[in-house]
Structure 1
Amino acid sequence: METLHIRAENSTIEMLMSLINDMSKDGKEIEIIDDISYEKEYRMIKTGLQEIKKGEVIEHDELWSELLGK
C-alpha cells in the first residue's frame, strides 16, 4: 500500500474526504492517518521498542490483572 501526505485548504480536504468515504463504501482498502495520529503512533512504537531493549516488558495476563485490580 502506498502513502500520500496532503497539505490543502480545509474545503479541499473536505472534498477529498467525501471522495475517500465513497471509495471506502465501494470496498476499497483505505487507511487515513493524520499528522497528530502518525506522530503519536510513532512515539508509542519508539517507546515500546526502547522498553523491549531494556527488558521493561510485562506479560499480557499480568497487565490485565493489574488493570482489573485482581
Structure 2
Amino acid sequence: MQYTFQVQGMTCAHCERAVTQALQQVDPQARVQIDRAQGKVEVDSSAPREALAAAIREEGYAVAQAL
C-alpha cells in the first residue's frame, strides 16, 4: 500500500534519516520518500497505516494528517 503522511517538525537530513529508520523498523521492506520542504512522507509498505504513523510520532514528530 502507498501511504502519504503530512509530518511537522522535520528540519534537516537527520530528521529524514530518523523517520526513515523508524518506518523501516516497522517494515524493513518499506520504501520511503521524504519531501522535507513540503513536510510529506510517502511510504510504500505492507504495514498498517496507524503503525507507520505511530512510528513517526515515537520519533517526536507530529503527524498532522495521514492521506
TM-score (norm 1): 0.25
Write 1 or 2 for the structure with the bigger share of strand. Answer: 2
Name the structure, 1 or 2, with higher relative contact order (CA <8 Å, separation 6+).
2
Write 1 or 2 for the structure with the bigger share of helix. Answer: 1
